[in-house]
Structure 1
Amino acid sequence: MNLIRGLHNLKKQQGSVVTIGNFDGVHIGHQKIIARLTEKAKEMGIPSVLISFMPTPQSFFGREQASLSSFKEKHRLLSGLNLDIHLIIHFNKDFSQLEARDFVQNILLNKLRMKHCLIGDDFRFGKERKGGFELLQNLSKDKGFTVEKTPSILCNNHRVSSSAIRTFLENGNIQSASQMLGREFSITGKIVHGLKNGRAIDFPTINIPIKRKISPVHGIFAVTIELDGATYQGVCSVGNRPVIGGKKTLLEVFLFDFNKQVYGLKVKIIFKHKIRDERNFDNFMALKKQIEIDTQDAKRFFSF
């Protein structure tokens, strides 16, 4: 998959099949759209193009929300779906004022030479979100392209969406979130040095940056991690560490029966079960006692 950062790096195409969206989490609904996109592109003999935005429109307009995937995670997931091109459009003030019709003409037609457009049933675009399936359908009659709408997918009688997955994760319903994602929810990154407070209470942790402004998970979890070709079990804390007056959201994992130097290595934390919400403690000894309880709860979960 060819990653193109910005319209200025895009060469004029001879034709393309296009889909547009944020694709946060690359869940089973996204996967269905992309499977149809690549199928249609192969049928027409032209490249498949997925357009996403950075920052997201929600973030640009101050409606920041938790991200299910960091940019690297999303790109890696998309790379496994047989796409030809991932085009990232920089969402700024000028772009936010682009009328929906102008977006279709100036970008989709003039630059991408779009022959077919595939969108989700709730997709909106252009200034004030005035563009949608009906506009594309009307323009297609005179502009020489076709348009296709993909219906919503249901999972356990719930419409699959990134917002539904965020709600499940926020409520600690890891299983339902994973079903909509089509895989277990995870966070990846490189292990970095922390403050090493855990060592002082006999619970040394590995630490990785969240790499998103708002974490989709908060609290204490039973997790497995994939590290250096092996899998380990442990307890993960995602939060602000109120016992030391923390402000920044951090991810720390205490691994069972583990004593290795792993700074700088890539790691994947897979969330299995929420144990409890984060809460404050009067001192480190009270925190230590609670971590002992959390560790036993996690071990009981893994023993089932």
Structure 2
Amino acid sequence: MQLIRGRHNFSSDLAPSVVSIGNFDGVHLGHLQLIKTLLVEADLQGLPPTVLTFDPHPHEYFSPQTAPPRLSSFRDKLLYLEQAGVQKVVCLRFDRSFSQTCAMDFIQDYLVKGLCARFVVVGDDFRFGRDRKGDLALLREAGQQAGFGVASVGTFVIDGHRVSSSRIRQVVEKGDFELAERLLGRAYGISGRVGQGDQRGRTWGFPTANVALPQNNVPVRGVYAVTVKRSGCKTIHGVANIGFRPTVGGEKLLLEVHLLDFEQDIYSERLLVEFRRRIRGEVRFDSFDALKAQIAEDVVDARRWLLEEHPL
């Protein structure tokens, strides 16, 4: 899959394309419905299915302290889009200049001149441009004038509720990972590379893989039963803690995973940690002994539940 970052990297001889526009956080079933329409239209026209997206998310730019957590890192978003059949991703930097682009300028500068769009696929609630003044009607009108078609995809509904990134965040924060999997089309997970930790867990008899977090704002906190995937290897059961480790004076958000019945060296490997069940919240214990005793209970709890509900 081709990735183009920034308007300055648009080529003057860029081939025409069929384009879908959005943030695509989590690349959930609603997004996949949109991409399905994108692929059909791209195939009909013999053009590459292209996604136009933005980074950072507008909420992160306008309100960084209160922005909702991402469901997926930028890297994972690209991976999921590629798996869905997208051949080209164009990522525009969302900054002050871009936020001031009016709807018609966005169409002319990015869709018509930049991407040579022949067809555009969006959700039926799509808004764009400064102050979100652009809508589907304006896009259709501009398409008639500029020579590109427009298709809208209706809301994707499960159990009577719209599938959206915001809904999935709420579900994940509540620990309902079965519902999250239904809405995403896959288990909710965080991927990252294993780095060197302080080895404290190993001295306590619970060695952990310290997985680098792609961003500090994630929708999970606490202790979880997890399944862990390695490239080309079988899935592993585990217990994950994601938090600041208040008992040991931690100040940085960490994802630590104790892999059950596993002793191999996996430093620098990339892991996908899939969250299956919330065991408890993060707690500050009065002593290391109390913490170690609780970890032992967490491991027993997670092992029993995973063997029953997610046997390997």
Note whether the superposition's TM-score is higher than 0.5: yes
Give the CA deviation at 1:133. 0.9
SS in 1 for 2:183: helix
- From 244, 249, 253, the equivalent of 1:249 is 253
Identity across aligned pairs (percent)? 40
- From 111, 114, 133, the equivalent of 2:114 is 111
Counterpart in the other structure of 1:280: 284
SS in 2 for 1:73: helix
CA contact (8 A) 1:201 1:285 kept: no
Measured in 2, the distance between the counterparts of 1:159 and 1:244 equals 42
Counterpart in the other structure of 1:214: 217
Q: CA RMSD in A?
A: 1.4
Give the CA deviation at 1:20. 0.7
Counterpart in the other structure of 2:34: 33
Deviations 1:41-97 (A, max 9, x none): 111222222001111211111252211111111111111222221001111211111
Measured in 2, the distance between the counterparts of 1:81 and 1:222 equals 28
Aligned length: 304
Deviations 1:126-172 (A, max 9, x none): 11111121211222232222211111111222210111111011001
- Identify the range of structure 1 (43-52 vs 166-175) with the bigger mean alpha-carbon deviation: 43-52
Measured in 2, the distance between the counterparts of 1:95 and 1:291 equals 48
Measured in 1, the distance between the counterparts of 2:50 and 2:202 equals 49
Counterpart in the other structure of 1:23: 24
Give the CA deviation at 1:276. 1.4
Unaligned runs of 5+ in 2: none
Give the CA deviation at 1:14. 4.4
The code of the aligned residue for 2:286 comes to: D
Give the CA deviation at 1:21. 0.6
Counterpart in the other structure of 1:97: 100
Under a length normalisation based on structure 1, what TM-score does the superposition of the two structures give? 0.95
> Does 2:6 correspond to 1:6?
yes
Counterpart in the other structure of 1:191: 194
> Does 2:227 correspond to 1:224?
yes
- Identify the range of structure 1 (185-194 vs 164-173) with the bigger mean alpha-carbon deviation: 185-194
Give the CA deviation at 1:202. 1.7
Measured in 2, the distance between the counterparts of 1:42 and 1:300 equals 48
Which stretches of structure 1, 4 residues or longer, exceed 6 Å deviation after superposition? none
Counterpart in the other structure of 1:44: 45
Give 1:126-141 correspondences, 5 Å limit: 126-141=129-144
SS in 2 for 1:220: strand
Counterpart in the other structure of 2:263: 259
Measured in 2, the distance between the counterparts of 1:227 and 1:53 equals 29
Deviations 1:178-197 (A, max 9, x none): 11110111111111111122
Under a length normalisation based on structure 2, what TM-score does the superposition of the two structures give? 0.93
Measured in 1, the distance between the counterparts of 2:129 and 2:251 equals 36
Measured in 2, the distance between the counterparts of 1:302 and 1:140 equals 52
SS in 1 for 2:75: helix
The code of the aligned residue for 2:40 comes to: E
Unaligned runs of 5+ in 1: none
Give the CA deviation at 1:102. 0.6
Deviations 1:235-271 (A, max 9, x none): 1111111112222211001122222222111212111
Measured in 2, the distance between the counterparts of 1:68 and 1:217 equals 10
Counterpart in the other structure of 1:270: 274
